Structure 1
């Protein structure tokens, strides 16, 4: 009986596989003949690895674009998504925004929301909160949950629209009713529930009002309320030190909107660590970017980590390197560059050291870490006199890290003693 059952299952699987193969072949023929619907369906087969098709991002992108070029709004939306995330093609935010717009103009709510995000974060287009809110609204009018949440956020924080708490709550509730967890959490933070009731008792509110701000300086509060950015930042810090994180976030946001870099950095930290707001890595990266562009070195490091690890942003080692270098975190820049080169399958150690050294020397002439890399490159090439000269420069460099200086000294000693040094090389690269 078991053998008979197994045979029946096998026969069923074989017949299903045969049917899928025939269906896929038919779909392929129709797609190749220019049928837009077939091209889109074939793209989805390759994207999901369904109906007998192997999962193949490149083929999914190829056929989706074929369909998109014929005007299919769904295909255009997917092409934008593929470009934004680098699936099946090189990542290109400009192309992503272009295809999202073509789809959004046809009323596709997914693309309308994503185009709004392009404008909100400045991906592939110039950052523009008004346009972001406008596209969010188009998608929200079609009951797209993420767009309802995004538009609620805009109304709550006055980004691209006039600040309006009641509208913010209304859109949050629309999103929450459709299962959007971010909206539910935001309503909870505001002391509200998704069904319209309040979750904050009068006694709790009274206690919060009387206890919060016990270390707040009245003159700082007055200056902050009059719009002085440094006072808004200091007031935020006072609230933060007092444990009132929501008020800290509020005042740091006011200062950050005026371009106060330290406030932008602190906002990023709050979103990253869920202090006074729901954790949101994408928003954290946004505020880190604002702070980095305003010259905050610590924000450059934080943003470098975000891009290196893909936290809140799409992983991009080259952008990570740029911010590490901008903040003068050269050791982090070197390690990040090593990862990038390994991603390119260039794992030859001599190529690795020389390329990183050249990049570092271009960005920071006389950098001690670069000098150490140049010494390593020359050492691998058996040019010991040149290697020793570079290592000595690293040792003599007042800005050298203890690790770089220690490794340089090890190599100098090995050259002078005529012994090959390998442990320090592995230590340097973290292998």
Structure 2
């Protein structure tokens, strides 16, 4: 190999990679890379990465190209470190930012975590102006909730529509909510799109629309279909709605016993509407259990309020971010096995919000929420397991969690399924 020229080595490495002789191919990569900056060398390096060579072994070569100003290498390094929540991603994001809206988005996210909305919005706007749909989602949420800007539902709608068109389920639901509030029937299309991608919230919203007939003709059978699908995903509002459908015989034969089971299940998962229905039923038919149920209801109500307040502190909704208070409130709520509280604690420890980052604690809390079918927690758990951060590496479990997150409509399911294809061969 020492006497071969660059083109010959390049061709030989391609043949070795095709035959999965990665060790010899890596020697060729190192040989070409050591000869100085060239596009051919980078192509081979990128090719090696695709064929499953250890990314760690390629970092020095990528870094060499990145320092020489090769934007594709800078982007590759940025993604590598960002996926592992390693702050080295910021250096490479700043290098890649002039050419990369993805880099601009990641820089914006970091400023948002630091509660520096002025800089965050500046970077989000740069990324959005170049069509980065995830930046549009964040801008839409900023205008919707008044984070760093005055709340403006019209502006929120513009940004959310762009993100929704590009597959972001959260944007589809938020946009649908805005449209539904105005009586705009286009809301049904967005709810339907999110529902097809697995969102239990969208499925429940559609069930309510078919039940009430506000934006479409009443159809209890369709309401039952969507409510049952969402209830199967353990979505509290859907479970409560299933209780109503069973109780009053809407789309199904009436069955008070089954309705009570749904209400109890929904109440256990945090549905205050279900709690109130159980209380009313007890007051009429089981007065001996009323005081106990009332005490439990008050506790659940307090837990839900703790979670809502913690989320507002964490995301800066209607106030400045207060990570210390968010953590304290989540710790109070998680005692009662609340999935949102566990997921919130996972994010605090994962990103080191107000405390040092702790991958072990993040993996612990995300794991608790993921087991309760929390889509966001499933997503984070997947990457922690895949990279062995804070927990033992477990690619099959990582794959299953990411599959669950995609099936539950988290983020952009199409992008998640592309990652799943890459992970499939490693199971």
Fold shared, TM-score > 0.5 on shorter chain: no
TM-score (normalised: structure 1): 0.43
Q: Which has the larger radius of gyration?
A: 1
TM-score (normalised: structure 2): 0.44
Which of the pair has the greater relative contact order for Cα pairs under 8 Å at 6+ separation? 2
